[in-house]
């Protein structure tokens, strides 16, 4: 009999609320013969304040035992900026070598977008997750003085770039439009830019059916608002991916519906799935948060574990629910979760 051994990290703020709904929908969609085991972890601001710990070696060893990780959100204004981000979120992505940060953007029928004319949007960003300016390389001298110098080093390796570019080509090849766009800034960041561009062009030779394209990151933000339909699959570096996926989420229904997977395709370590949004302390505990992004992240999780038809059922349920919701008064977090659980079970 099949089983899913899931690590659950509700985290801070609305993370708690949205993860509860994600689990509700997950339980509802799984067939009877699949045994779901969950273990909850208390990472986040509360634990940091109580113990000073963000993510220990023992935590990592424990997390490693699971098939996958579901995360709500980590972060609180009471913790200095960077402590939980570098000490938990990025530490986990790096420790578990989550090099494929997958972020689909699809504007579903009836969903509000800030763009005029309700354009068709259906693309996926493959963001590199373990290199670039996110490595924590760099430093500060003469801190706090008028002569302070602070550096940040973007580290890019052929090994790291090639594996994520390959993943993106394979995804593009599997989609009807078979189009892959490299987003970088190779006219200014020429060292990293040449590496990315050369690797991209080299791997492209193995995928003659995939149409390729290159766009500078600044121009990409223009197209994301004037012609988002031009994108099918985008592959990009860690920082550019961070920036354009927030914009992509904004134009395709908002961060309330933006899902993501921090994926290790080798399965050497469990992959982690999380909504793109943060902990939103301003609305936490009020039942106002939209759990849809978390539910869609559960669908990505299921697809990663090979439960494709269950993932499809969640996607369909969300699409139907969003269409039904259009123009209606806002529903509560658990109201949305309940409705989705009913739909996926039915």
Ligand X SMILES: CC(C)[C@H](C(=O)O)[C@@H](O)C(=O)O
Mark the segment that binds ligand X (CB under 6 A) among 38-46, 85-93, 298-306, 320-328: 85-93
Rounded least distance, CB 154 to a second copy, Å = 4
Rounded to the nearest 5°, which phi and psi values hold at 106?
-140, 125
Report if residue 85 touches ligand X, rule: CB under 6 A: yes
Give the pair of three-digit tokens for residue 195: 């590496």
DSSP 183: E
Task: Among 149, 188, 326, 342, indicate the residue that binds ligand X (CB under 6 A).
Answer: 188
Cα distances (angstroms) measured from residue 111 to each of 33, 253, 314: 35, 6, 17
Report if residue 242 touches ligand X, rule: CB under 6 A: yes
Q: Is 270 annotated as a binding residue?
A: no
| Tokens 């009836």, located at residue | 110
CA angle 93, 41, 11 (to 5 degrees): 70
Rounded least distance, CB 338 to ligand X, Å = 27
Give the pair of three-digit tokens for residue 116: 């005029």
Out of ligand X, a second copy, none, what residue 138 binds, judged by CB under 5 to 8 A for its kind, is a second copy
**Strand ranges across the sheet with 179-184:** 35-40, 3-11, 68-73, 271-275, 259-263, 100-106, 122-128, 233-236, 179-184, 211-216
How far apart (Å, rounded) are the C-alpha atoms in residues 18 and 82? Answer: 23
3-state secondary structure of 30: coil
**Is residue 150 classed exposed, middle or buried when 0-12, 13-18 and 19+ CB atoms within 10 A define those classes?**
exposed
Site track for a second copy across 232-271, x = CB under 8 A: -------x--xxxxxx-xxx--xx----------------
Footprint on residues 1-60 left by a second copy (CB under 8 A): none
- Catalytic residue at 134? yes
Question: Nearer Cβ to ligand X, position 160 or 341?
Answer: 160
Q: Is 218 annotated as a binding residue?
A: yes
Report if residue 225 touches a second copy, rule: CB under 8 A: yes
Interface residue list for ligand X (CB under 6 A): 85, 89-90, 187-188, 218, 242, 276
Residues catalogued as catalytic: 134, 185, 218, 242, 246
Interface residue list for a second copy (CB under 8 A): 81-82, 85-86, 90, 113-117, 133-134, 136, 138-140, 142-159, 162, 185-195, 197-198, 217-219, 221-222, 224-226, 239, 242-247, 249-251, 254-255
């Amino acid at each position: 009999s099949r089983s899913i051994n899931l690590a659950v990290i509700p985290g801070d703020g609305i993370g708690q609320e949205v993860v509860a709904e994600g689990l509700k929908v997950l339980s509802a969609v799984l067939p009877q013969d699949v045994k779901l085991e969950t273990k909850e972890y208390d990472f986040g601001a509360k634990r940091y304040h109580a113990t000073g710990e963000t993510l220990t070696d023992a935590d990592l060893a424990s997390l490693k035992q699971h098939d996958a990780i579901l995360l709500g959100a980590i972060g609180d204004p009471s913790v200095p900026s960077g402590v939980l981000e570098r000490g938990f979120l990025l530490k986990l992505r790096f420790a578990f070598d989550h090099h494929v940060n997958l972020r689909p953007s699809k504007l579903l029928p009836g969903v509000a977008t800030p763009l005029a004319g309700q354009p068709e949007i259906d693309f996926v960003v493959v963001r590199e997750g373990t290199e670039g300016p996110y490595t924590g390389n760099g430093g500060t001298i003469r801190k706090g003085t008028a002569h302070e110098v602070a550096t940040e080093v973007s580290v890019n390796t052929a090994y790291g770039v090639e594996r994520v570019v390959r993943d993106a080509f394979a995804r593009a090849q599997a989609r009807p439009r078979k189009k892959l766009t490299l987003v970088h800034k190779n006219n200014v960041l020429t060292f990293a830019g040449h590496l990315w561009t050369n690797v991209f062009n080299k791997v492209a030779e193995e995928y003659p059916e995939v149409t390729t394209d290159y766009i500078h990151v600044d121009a990409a933000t223009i197209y994301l608002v004037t012609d988002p339909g031009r994108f099918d699959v985008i592959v990009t570096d860690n920082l550019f991916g961070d920036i354009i996926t927030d914009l992509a989420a904004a134009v395709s229904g908002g961060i309330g519906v933006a899902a993501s997977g921090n994926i290790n395709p080798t399965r050497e370590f469990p992959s982690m799935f999380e909504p793109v949004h943060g902990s939103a302390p301003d609305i936490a505990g009020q039942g106002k948060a939209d759990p849809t992004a978390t539910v869609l992240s559960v669908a990505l999780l299921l697809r990663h574990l090979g439960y494709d038809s269950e993932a499809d059922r969640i996607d369909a349920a969300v699409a139907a629910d969003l269409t039904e919701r259009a123009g209606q008064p806002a529903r509560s977090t658990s109201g949305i979760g309940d409705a989705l659980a009913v739909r996926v079970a039915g």
